[in-house]
Amino acid sequence: MLYYIKKYPFSLVVILAVIYLSFFKLPCVGVSLFKGTDKVAHFCMLGGLSGILWLEFLLNHRKEGLNLKRVVTGAVVCPILFGGLIELGQAYLTQYRRGDWLDFLASTAGVLVASLIAWYVLRPFLFKRG
């Protein structure tokens, strides 16, 4: 466990922040910029988590090279499953939140966009300089 705390500290902080934002009752301001603001929030939360996971994985494994199966599992599959678990948790563990499959779809889209950016922009940049 200490290995993961040392290697992925920002990812762990983002995971805790996503859990907090997903399960604790936030004050209601009653104003929405546009319909679907919560979908944008889900896109950004899980996309940000995936992006941080990609960044820390790429930085930690520049020297020995990439294990594609490992990085796809850790930075793509796990955040998608995490988003699904959050939606199920909101549906069944809280009374003030509801699980919404469109939120899950927005979260999945955020993970996929972050992964594409990491693979086609971040990875070549880091490995060129490494």
For 33-78, what is each residue's pLDDT tens digit? 778 888 999 999 999 999 999 999 999 888 777 788 998 999 999 9
Contact 48, 88 (CB under 8 A): no
Domain boundaries along the sequence of the chain: 37-129
pTM, rounded to two decimals: 0.89
Query: How many Cβ atoms from other residues are within 10 Å of residue 101's Cβ?
Result: 10
Tens digit of each residue's pLDDT (9 = 90 or more) over 113-124: 999 999 999 998
pLDDT score of 130 more than 60: no
Question: Nearest Cα to 56, choosing from 15, 105, 21?
Answer: 15
